[in-house]
Amino acid sequence: MARNRSVSAVLGGSVARPRPQPFPSRSRSALKRRAVVGVLVLLSLVLITASFRESSDGFLHRVGGGGATVLRPFEVGAERVARPFRDAYGYLAGLVHAKAENKRLRSELDQARQEANQGRIKAQQNDQLRAALVFIDSPAFPRDFRPVNTRVLGAPQSPFEQRVIIAAGSDAGIRIDAPVITEEGLVGRVTGLTGSEAEVTLLTDEESAVPALDLDSSTNARGLVRRGQGKGSLILDRVAKDAAVSEGDKIVTAGSRSKQFPSLFPRGIAIGSVTSVGRTDTSLFTHVQIEPFVDFSSLDSVIVLVSKRRPPVAP
Amino acid sequence: MTVDAALDAAKAAGILFLAVVLQISIFSGIDIFGGRPDLLLVTLVVVALLRGTIFGAAAGFGAGLLYDMGTFGTLGFIALLYTLAGYWIGRYGETTGRDRSHAPLLSVAVVTVLFSFGALMLHFMLGENAPAREVLVESLVPTVLLNLLIAVPVYAAVRRILRPPGWADRAREVRLLG
């Protein structure tokens, strides 16, 4: 026999289901409910007003203080129970905070380093430009030329290629073969040109040859400054065998006395100093080694000499 | 007042007293993303939902007054706001919110927002410091979320102690079935 498990079958028709019990306050009248709330709100307002207006040693403040005194032991107990959890939370929060702070400080440090580097670079550039200005204003600066100060954009790409790119071109009045110098001495000449950039072939390039003279020589020894054997070294080639050249002599550009075909390089630009002098019986010329004044490996800024005269025209 | 009613009131008073103590000593010191969980408000909302208008209003007044005393605040300040909150949530529990599962969470969220507005307005009316930006913009949303977070366990715990009216009758009905 199948068992009937339905609710009506179990309870039967005669079992009366209890009616849901209403909320206690619901059974009271709305008037009573509102009256109670009204009294409590009014009491609160009275308390606020009285507490706000009375002095700090008034009755309500004393009552409040008494209540706080009663609550105090419980608060202390709860605080002691919660202290380990609070400490653990504080430790974890501190770790998270420290991690975030570490990240922020690292970022700030990187930024400060970059700014410091930029500042040092700018200070260095400032020093170089000041030195260049001093040189331009000095009597050593060649007349009939105006200076174009510019930065070096690209260093020589390989030992075989002694050329650099500078950040000024024909727009600044620079022409092909214009001499390039620093306040220390001759650098090279312009061999390529665009509107905003120029290529400078250094004195240490295989193709460079600059007429030069020994400023300290009694015989006014002359020759051609060319690339030497060592890295960055120069030689004074084609110096007469009887020329009086000695170590420490200062070598400068010779220039040209011909007004029709002046030299590319004005007279008197420093090139370097003599480091060794050699003569052999079989050689036709004196071998003169020169240490250049300019450090070609660390060129940052240069001065291009732009002639104030019209460029010479080849016949 | 019957013995059951007196026992019920004593239980509610104990729960709210514990909530006041925990709120003052522990929860007021918790600051997560600018929000502070209000255990006392959440407990009051749950009690009012379970026990109705008058019980809620009276519980709000008592708990608020105790809190005012414990924090050396203006007496009646929190009591006024909690009285209104208890009354309103009690009314909601008696009518629309009765037996609805979302009622506790909805009540906690709405009451938290209204309490923040009310406290701000009352502070402003009393000429006290009322940083609206800090209360309404920076801390309101995290406070609501934190209150919702604690509402679930608080509701479960308080409901076990203060059983909703009618449970005893339902239990008797089940015994008949067995």
**Distance of residue A103 Cα from the nearest chain B Cα, in angstroms:** 19
A73 and B CB contact within 8 Å: no
Across the interface, whether the CB atoms of A17 and B173 are under 8 A apart is answered yes
Query: What is the value of ipTM here, to two decimals?
Result: 0.80
**Distance of residue A115 Cα from the nearest chain B Cα, in angstroms:** 33
Confidence at A68, pLDDT banded by 50, 70, 90: confident
Tell me, what's the pLDDT at A312?
58
**Distance of residue B76 Cα from the nearest chain A Cα, in angstroms:** 4
| Whole-model pTM over 0.90 | no
Tell me, what's the pLDDT at A160?
66
Across the interface, whether the CB atoms of B69 and A50 are under 8 A apart is answered no
B76: three-class secondary structure by DSSP: coil
Percent of chain A with pLDDT over 90: 20
Chain A environment of B169 (Cβ under 8 Å) = 18, 20-21
Give, rounded to a whole angstrom, the gap between the first and last alpha carbons of chain B. 34
Tell me, what's the pLDDT at B129?
73
Confidence at A13, pLDDT banded by 50, 70, 90: very low
A94 and B CB contact within 8 Å: no
Give the separation between CA A141 and CA A137, rounded to whole angstroms.
Answer: 7
Task: Please compute the mean of the pLDDT values over residues B88-100 and round it to a whole number.
Answer: 82
Give the separation between CA B39 and CA B24, rounded to whole angstroms.
Answer: 10
Identify the structural domains of chain B with CATH numbers, from first to last: 3-177 (1.10.1760.20)
Chain A environment of B93 (Cβ under 8 Å) = 23
pLDDT tens-digit profile of B133-142? 777 778 889 9
Task: Please compute the mean of the pLDDT values over residues B93-102 and round it to a whole number.
Answer: 78
Tell me, what's the pLDDT at B83?
94
**Distance of residue A128 Cα from the nearest chain B Cα, in angstroms:** 53
Three-state secondary structure of chain A: CCCCCCHHHHHCCCCCCCCCCCCHHHHCCHHHHHHHHHHHHHHHHHHHHHHHHCCCCCHHHHHHHHHHHHHHHHHHHHHHHHHHHHHHHHHHHHHHHHHHHHHHHHHHHHHHHHHHHHHHHHHHHHHHHHHHHHHHHCCCCCCCEEEEEEEEEECCCECCECEEEECCCHHHCCCCCCEEECCCCEEEEEEEECCCCEEEEECCCCCCCEEEEECCCCCCCEEEEEECCCCCCEEEEEEECCCCCCCCCEEEECCCCCCCCCCCCCCCCEEEEEEEEECCCCCCEEEEEEEECCCHHHCCEEEEEEECCCCCCCC
Give the separation between CA B122 and CA A51, rounded to whole angstroms.
Answer: 14
Confidence at B177, pLDDT banded by 50, 70, 90: low
Give the separation between CA A213 and CA A211, rounded to whole angstroms.
Answer: 7
In this predicted model, which residue has the larger pLDDT, A190 or A30? A190
Which residue from A7, A50, A67 is facing B66, i.e. has the nearest CB? A67
Q: Which chain B residue has the Cα nearest residue A21? A: B166
Give the separation between CA A97 and CA A87, rounded to whole angstroms.
Answer: 15
Using alpha carbons, select from B159, B42, B136 the residue that is nearest to residue B89.
Answer: B42
On the question of pLDDT at A256 being above 70, the answer is yes
Which residue from B22, B64, B66 is facing A78, i.e. has the nearest CB? B22
On the question of pLDDT at B45 being above 90, the answer is yes
Tokens of B137: 């913009």
Average pLDDT, chain A: 81
**Distance of residue B121 Cα from the nearest chain A Cα, in angstroms:** 14
Lowest mean pLDDT among A2-11, A251-260, B86-95: A2-11
Unique residue bearing structure tokens 């009248």: A29
Give the separation between CA B57 and CA A235, rounded to whole angstroms.
Answer: 106
In this predicted model, which residue has the larger pLDDT, B105 or A8? B105
A176: three-class secondary structure by DSSP: coil
CA atoms within 13 A on the CB side of B157: 15
Confidence at B44, pLDDT banded by 50, 70, 90: very high
Tell me, what's the pLDDT at B87?
93
Residues 6+ apart with CB under 8 A from A81: none
Do strands A270-278 and A250-253 pair parallel, antiparallel, or not at all (unpaired)?
A: antiparallel
Give the separation between CA A124 and CA A275, rounded to whole angstroms.
Answer: 29
Give the separation between CA B68 and CA A52, rounded to whole angstroms.
Answer: 13
Three-state secondary structure of A26-91: HHCCHHHHHHHHHHHHHHHHHHHHHHHHCCCCCHHHHHHHHHHHHHHHHHHHHHHHHHHHHHHHHH
CA atoms within 13 A on the CB side of B122: 21
Q: Are the beta carbons of A197 and A280 closer than 8 angstroms?
A: no
Give the highest mean pLDDT range of A69-73, B55-59, B130-134: B55-59
Which residue from B61, B74, B93 is facing A52, i.e. has the nearest CB? B74
Across the interface, whether the CB atoms of A82 and B25 are under 8 A apart is answered yes
- Let me know if B99 is exposed, middle or buried by CB neighbors in 10 A (0-12, 13-18, 19+): exposed
Across the interface, whether the CB atoms of A47 and B72 are under 8 A apart is answered no
Percent of chain A with pLDDT over 70: 85
Across the interface, whether the CB atoms of A41 and B26 are under 8 A apart is answered no
Give the separation between CA B63 and CA B57, rounded to whole angstroms.
Answer: 10
pLDDT tens-digit profile of A162-216? 888 898 998 999 999 999 998 889 999 998 888 888 989 999 888 888 999 888 8
Unique residue bearing structure tokens 């670079």: A121
Across the interface, whether the CB atoms of B74 and A43 are under 8 A apart is answered no
Using alpha carbons, select from B53, B144, B57 the residue that is nearest to residue B97.
Answer: B53
Tell me, what's the pLDDT at A115?
93
pLDDT tens-digit profile of A45-66? 998 888 878 877 788 888 888 8
Tell me, what's the pLDDT at A10?
42
Give, rounded to a whole angstrom, the gap between the first and last alpha carbons of chain A. 135
Across the interface, whether the CB atoms of A79 and B53 are under 8 A apart is answered no
Question: CA-based diameter of chain A, in Å?
Answer: 147
Identify the structural domains of chain A with CATH numbers, from first to last: 145-307 (2.40.10.340)
Give the separation between CA A235 and CA A224, rounded to whole angstroms.
Answer: 8
Task: Please compute the mean of the pLDDT values over residues A227-245 and round it to a whole number.
Answer: 84
Lowest mean pLDDT among A13-22, A135-144, B99-108: A13-22
Across the interface, whether the CB atoms of A68 and B72 are under 8 A apart is answered yes
